[in-house]
Chain A
Amino acid sequence: MNVVELRDMYFAYNDKVILENINLSVERGEFMALIGPNGSGKSTLVKLVLGLLQPTQGQVLLYGASVNKFNEWYRVGYVPQKAALTSKFPATVKEVVATGRFGRVGLGHRLRQDDWKSIEEALEMVGLISLQHCPLVELSGGQQQRAFIARALASSPDILILDEPQVGLDDRYVYDFYRLLQQLNKEQNITIIMVSHDVGAIGSWVDRIACLNRKLVCQGSPHDILTPYNLNHIYGTDHPAVAGLH
């Protein structure tokens, strides 16, 4: 079954076409990376999938239903490229991560014991449990990013959509993080769509890579996609990752 499906989709901001004729489907249990240069429309595509933007043409389907009719949003975990939290937002790490659970609990209901357990598990997964009572503003940028990842995990999602989640994470943690994603993907069959510029590393983790540059340039297994020819074609210049590949 297709978790996400884009059919002949176009998107334009005012009269500037950003995405053109996109056909893409992501199957249940897949781990897919979306790559492409700055401004190629990756975040825009993610927002279309989440129903935050409406396509100018074509269809966006989630679990087979039109995104506007979809009402099981608690199944979707989202890590935005830039978290919208104001820099002085007064909340503890745990309070912020807890919001990820709200969609599951439902409007007007309180979090119950097992909800708090999921929230603590999410904190555990990203290694922030010892900082849970710390105000978010007192965390480093990378630690905050981990809090936002935990927020997405707290809803026990079936599908994770991450927009450059590894930005700001240190090298050692990036590795742990990819391993965590792989574990969620393999053990809990969570579908993952990850936007990334980390071309050098993701190849060994994901099942499929899709390259975007206004159009869907190419997609396939990491082995087929991550060739010097393709990367040069996508990124236009000699990409540093290309040198490391062969």
Chain B
Amino acid sequence: MAMLQYDFMVRALIAGLVIGMLCPALGMFLVIRRYSFMADTIAHISLAGVAIGLWMGVASSVTPLLILVVAVLGALTVDHLRTRTSLSADALLALMMSGGLALAIIFFGLAKGGALDITSYLFGSLMTVNSGDLKLILIVAGIVLLFLVLLYKELYFICSDEESARVSGLPVDRLNRIFIFLVALTVAVSLRVVGTLLVGALMVIPVLASLIIGRSFKQVFYLSLVLGVIATLLGLTASYQFGLAAGGCVVLTALFFFALFYALKQLLTYFKRHNALQKDKQ
């Protein structure tokens, strides 16, 4: 573990592991409700926060807070429109995503320069996570985990059947708002680490992979956390060894697991069917 002798690498690892676990934990509820693109949407809206910060010339230490605020505002807008309009999930997310990106482009244009900063938010730069970033990540992780432990059962109920959850007396609208707030927080702090383009992937791919083999909600949930962590570990190691972009390596590793599980499942189905047919013949 030669890579652990560098402070920046240790920070990258901690940040990566925390986010690798947080993203699928929230992603689970998004994927099942067919809001897979929620994280991407909030990420693109957050990018507008980066651009606005750049344009206003705020210190780079303030930018993460600005992103947080913009992400939360964007998320609450999405939630408001979700409940008040009859737009379908994909239409709503497509609208908001393009809107966020358009704003970002305009403010980046107005800001001129600062191209370096943009790429670190677009593609993520795990290796440059400083202790301030890490602190913010850990605080957000603490908040998100606390809510998840408290509300896991309720979030599961709502994503299984929103109407029945309402009938059982759950404050569904309020819980939805809390949940989307947690997603916004997570996306905002993940932006620096895995980048705008990949944060959605990290929320969704471990879950999709787990869905292939999990047989209960609980199994799928915990498996996706484990996958998120493993993909981060392997991805980061690969990135360090071969000098490749960290975010890309992490997400490709997650995709690899998806492909692996898919192939295994196909193989298993094939053999099961084959065996059943053999038995029939006898």
Binding site for B on A (CB under 8 A): 50-52, 71-74, 76, 78, 80, 83-86, 88-92, 95-96, 99-100, 102-103, 105, 107-108, 110-111, 133, 135, 151, 155
Contact = CB atoms under 8 A, between A and B. Distances in A.
B32 A99 contact: no
Contacts of B218: 95
Most chain B CB within 10 A, of A73, A74, A91, A135, is at A91
Contacts of B154: 102, 107-108
A71 B34 CA distance: 30
A117 B267 CA distance: 38
Interface stretch (B18-26, B60-68, B162-170, B269-277): B162-170
Contacts of A95: 216-218
B214 interface: yes
A93 B165 CA distance: 17
B217 A103 contact: no
Interface residues of B, number: 27
Given A100-B164, A108-B151, 20 more contacts: A50-B167, A52-B163, A71-B169, A74-B169, A76-B167, A83-B164, A84-B163, A89-B32, A89-B160, A91-B216, A91-B217, A92-B217, A96-B160, A99-B156, A99-B160, A99-B164, A103-B170, A107-B151, A107-B171, A133-B215
A105 B163 CA distance: 18
B215 A99 contact: no
B31 to A, nearest CB: 10
A155 B160 contact: no
Contacts of A107: 151, 154, 170-171
B166 A52 contact: yes
A90 B164 contact: no
13 contacts: A51-B167, A72-B169, A73-B168, A74-B168, A80-B164, A84-B163, A90-B216, A91-B217, A92-B217, A95-B218, A96-B160, A99-B165, A107-B171
